[in-house]
Structure 1
Amino acid sequence: MKKSNQEAAEKITFKNLRRLYFFALLTIALTIIISQFLVQYNLNQQLSDSKIINFSGKQRMLSQKIVKEVLIQHYVSDTASAKQISHLNDVLALWKKNQNALENGSDSLAFPKEKSETLSKLYLEINPIFNKIAQTTEAFLLNVKQKKTTAENQKFVNTILENEGIFLSKMNQIVTQYDLEAHEKVTEQRRIEYWIFGFTLLVLLLEFFFIFKPTNKKIERLIAKLLSSEKKALKLAYDTEILSEIKENSVKELKSLNYAMENTLLYCRIAPDGSIIHIGEKFAKLLNYTKFSSNKKFSEVLTVDEKEQTNFDRLIFEKQRSGWQGEISILNKENETIWLDLSMVPVMIKKDELELLIVCFNITERKKAQREVERLNLENTTEKINQQKIISSKIVENQENEQNRIAKEIHDGIGQMLTGLKFSLESINLDDRGKSEQKIEYLKKLSLDIIKGVRTATFNLMPPELSDHGIVSSLAKLTQELSKLTGKEILFYNKTDFDRRLDSLIEINIYRLTQEAINNAIKYAESSHIIVQLSHSETLLSIIVDDNGKGFDVNSVDKKRNSESGMGLLFMKERIQYINGRVFMNSIPGEGTRITFNIPILK
Structure 2
Amino acid sequence: MSELLNDNTKNDQAIPFRFTRLYVTLFVVLAVLLTGGQILTQWRLSTVQDELWIIRYTALQRHQSQQIVKQALQVTDINERANFDQNLSELRHVFTTFERYHLQSREGKVSDHNVTIPNSANVQVLYNEINPEFTAFQRSIRRLINLRSPDEVVQPDVQASLKLLLANEKPFLEEIDAIVRQHTGDLRNQLTRLESIELYLYIVSILVLLGIGVLIFRPATRRLKQTIAQLIEAEQQASIANKQLLSVNKSLSETRQKLFEATRLQYQQEMDEQKLRTSYLMAGQEDERKRLSRELHDGLGQMLTAIKLQIEGLEAGLKRAAQQGTSDLTAHSKNISNLKKLVTQTIQETRTISNNLMPTVLSDFGVIPAIKMLAENDRSETIDVTFESNLTADDPRLDKNVEIMLYRITQEAISNAVRHAHPSHIHIELIERQNYVHLIVSDDGRGFRPENQRSKLSHQTQDGRAPSQGLHNMQERAKLLNGKLKINSVPGKGTKVQVSIPYKMQSAHYDAN
- TM-score category, normalised to shorter length: 0.3 to 0.5
When normalised by structure 2's length, the TM-score is: 0.47
When normalised by structure 1's length, the TM-score is: 0.41
Structure with bigger strand share is: 1
Structure with bigger helix share is: 2
